[in-house]
Amino acid sequence: MSEIANRVKKIIVDKLGVDESEVTPEASFTNDLGADSLDTVELMMEFEKEFNISIPDDQAENIGSVGQAISYLEEHVK
């Protein structure tokens, strides 16, 4: 697993209070990991802080699962 993926997983475990084993690439933040709309916003902010990037709102809307977050960040983080 990439270093980015590990950091993403760590943030999700911390912010959503879920077990690491639940954080699979397919896992949806809202359907599988119990996130509500505020949790999702907080996750995006944490990704921005951790990776020092800015995720535009229209792109953040398309990041709904662990795998989508990892792909987006792998693509955009220098």
Partner 1 sequence: MNVTLRRVVVTGLGALTPIGNTADEYWNGLINGVSGADFIKQFDAAKFKTRFACEVKDFKVEDHMDRKEAKRLDRFSQIAMAAANEAVAHAKLDDPSINGDRVGVIWSSGIGGMITFIEEMKNFNAGDGTPRFNPFFIPKMILDIAAGHISMKYGFRGPNFATVSACASSTNGMIDAFTYIRLGKADVMITGGSEAVVTEAGIGGFNAMKALSERNDDPKTASRPFDLNRDGFVLGEGAGAIVLEELEHAKARGANIICEIVGGGMSADAYHLTAPHPEGLGVINVMNAALEDAEMKPEDIDYINVHGTSTPLGDIAEITAIQKVFGDHAFNLNISSTKSMTGHLLGAAGAIEAVATILAVKNDIIPPTINHTTIDPAFDSRLNLTLNKAQHRTVNAAVSNTFGFGGHNATVIFKKYEA
* CA–CA separation, 33 and 59 (whole Å): 20
* Nearest distance in Å: CB 38, partner 1: 4
23 binds partner 1 (CB under 8 A): no
11 binds partner 1 (CB under 8 A): no
Q: Which of 22, 27, 32, 42 binds partner 1 (CB under 8 A)?
A: 42
Which residue stretches of the chain are H helix?
3-16, 37-51, 57-60, 66-76
Active-site annotation holds for 36: yes
Cβ-based nearer residue to partner 1, 47 or 72: 47
The residues, ordered by sequence, that sit 6+ positions from 67 with a Cβ below 8 Å of its Cβ are 25, 26
**Largest pairwise CA distance in the chain:** 30
Q: Which residues bind partner 1 (CB under 8 A)?
A: 15-17, 34, 38-39, 41-42, 45, 48-49
Active site residues: 36
